[in-house]
Amino acid sequence: MSVPQPPEPIPGARLLFALDPAVSHLNHGSFGAVPIGVQRAQQRLRDEMESNPLRFFTQGLVDRIAHTRRHLAGFLGADPDGSALVGNTTTGVAVVLQSLGLQPGDEVLSTDHGYGAVSLAIQRECRRTDAVSRVLPVPLAATDEQVVQTIRAGLRPGRTRLLVVDQLTSATAKLFPTAAIVGVAREHGVPVLVDAAHAPGMLPTPVSSIGADFWAGNLHKWGYAPRGTALLAVAETWRDRIEPLVVSWEQDSGFPARIEWQGTLDYTSWLAAPAGLFTLRSLGVDRVRAHNAALAAYGQRVVGDALGVSPAHLPDPGGPGVALRLIPLPAGTATTIDAARALQTRIGERLAAEVAVTNWNGRGWLRLAGQVYNTADEYERLAVRLPALLAQR
Ligand SMILES: Cc1ncc(COP(=O)(O)O)c(C=O)c1O
């Protein structure tokens, strides 16, 4: 079968970024890339801060943060009064975990697609409270219905105090049917935390339509915000019980200010985040989404072809709207997290291509992203050169 045509490039988009042109940046998923205009917007805010730090921090900063939060929450379809800005999804997850008041014998349920750092946070909170972390295996190819059934069967009402699911998984690029999962969990009285690290800017689903008790997503990946910008949305019943990781001056102001104000920090990434959404909107949100997903799918096919993986064996756990795609690596490659990291570094150094090599359940995968700054020839070059590199093990 022939490889489908790549999407039409978005003219001029690459020039919006400061990326090294000698490198193919095919891993937007890990740390994003901040457009130059957004970097400038943040620098202007830093200039303002440095011209009079006292005035910047004491006159209106809390209100400016609230205004920014409302703007970002509005874009994401989240309740502006039920959302708090946090530095990243990892922080949002930590805030939720330590606010639960887990008791000995309670259980936190997650899936084997969960993000490594989030799994470590769950484990630590469970150790600290004598609670139990239980991980449900979910096959990569499971249909939405099978995922929901697996989760329904895995819940232990009365014991499961939190279910953690990803909206779009990191290692496996799998889209979870989060609204349906939340519905099932609710029937059983189990609160749900959705790890939506990749959702803002990539997925169109409004946060409120998922209905989760907690939802945490990064704007600094697909929303083009400066790094350190994420939103934590919290259902009304929980807002009074949510405690910040660091107690500071807004502690008595309640949610969300007490979560947001964490002492003296550089808050300019949050204030500049609307410039990221402005860039996205200027390019056309739907156009960017369609372009990125189609380009990632194209990259998956050309690199898959080069590695001898037939289209039937290329997984599609995210579906057509997802800008992250997986290619299975040859058996025996990247079978541990350390080996995956080493291979990722080697591909970066030898092929001048930044990719994600993931390891999931002992198997290695190449994860390719599509972004407006990518072009079809970057994936084609990788396809030509990768097989020889993999053969030199
Ligand atoms: C699914 C998932 N959860 C959480 C995170 C953590 O994001 P951050 O490092 O911005 O907190 C990531 C990062 O890639 C992720 O993919």
Which protein residue's CA is at the shortest distance from atom 16 of ligand 1?
170
Q: Which residue in 328, 338, 336 sits closest to 386, CA to CA?
A: 328
Alpha carbon distance, N-terminus to C-terminus of the chain: 30
Tokens of 210: 């998922």
- Sign for the CA dihedral angle at 99, 104, 106, 107 comes to positive
Q: What is the pLDDT of residue 4?
A: 80
Any atom of ligand 1 within 6 Å of the Cβ of 174: no
Q: Pick from 30, 34, 89 the residue to mutate for probing ligand 1's pocket: most ligand atoms within 8 Å of its CB.
A: 89
- A 10 A CB-CB count for 247 gives 12
Distance CA 166, CA 355 (A): 21
Distance 216 CA to ligand 1 centre (A): 10
- The closest alpha carbon to 276, from 222, 198, 199, 224, belongs to 224
List, for the chain, all residue ranges whose pLDDT scores fall below the cut of 70: 1-2, 393
Q: How far apart are CA 191 and CA 175, in angstroms?
A: 20
Is 269 a pocket residue for ligand 1 (Cβ < 6 Å)?
A: no
> Residue holding tokens 């349920």?
109
| 356 CB near ligand 1 (under 6 Å) | no
CA atoms within 13 A on the CB side of 206: 9
Phi (first) and psi of residue 270, to 5 degrees: -65, -45
User: What's the CA-to-centroid distance between 52 and ligand 1, angstroms?
Assistant: 34
Which residues touch 11 (CB under 8 Å, ≥6 apart)? none
Kind of pairing between the strands at 353-354 and 24-25: parallel
332 CA to centre of ligand 1 in angstroms? 27
Res 2: pLDDT: 65
How far apart are the CA of 101 and the centre of ligand 1, in A? 24
Ligand 1, atom nearest to 89 Cα: 11
Q: What is the Å distance from ligand 1's center to 40 Cα?
A: 25
CA–centroid distance, 115 to ligand 1, in Å, is 7
Beta bridge partners of 218: 230
Report CA Rg, the chain: 21
Whether ligand 1 lies within 6 angstroms of the CB of 176 is answered as no
Q: Give pLDDT, residue 1.
A: 54
Rounded Cα gap, residues 252 and 255, in angstroms: 9
149 C-beta neighbours (distance < 10 Å), count: 13
Per-residue pLDDT at 119:
98
pLDDT of 393 reads 66
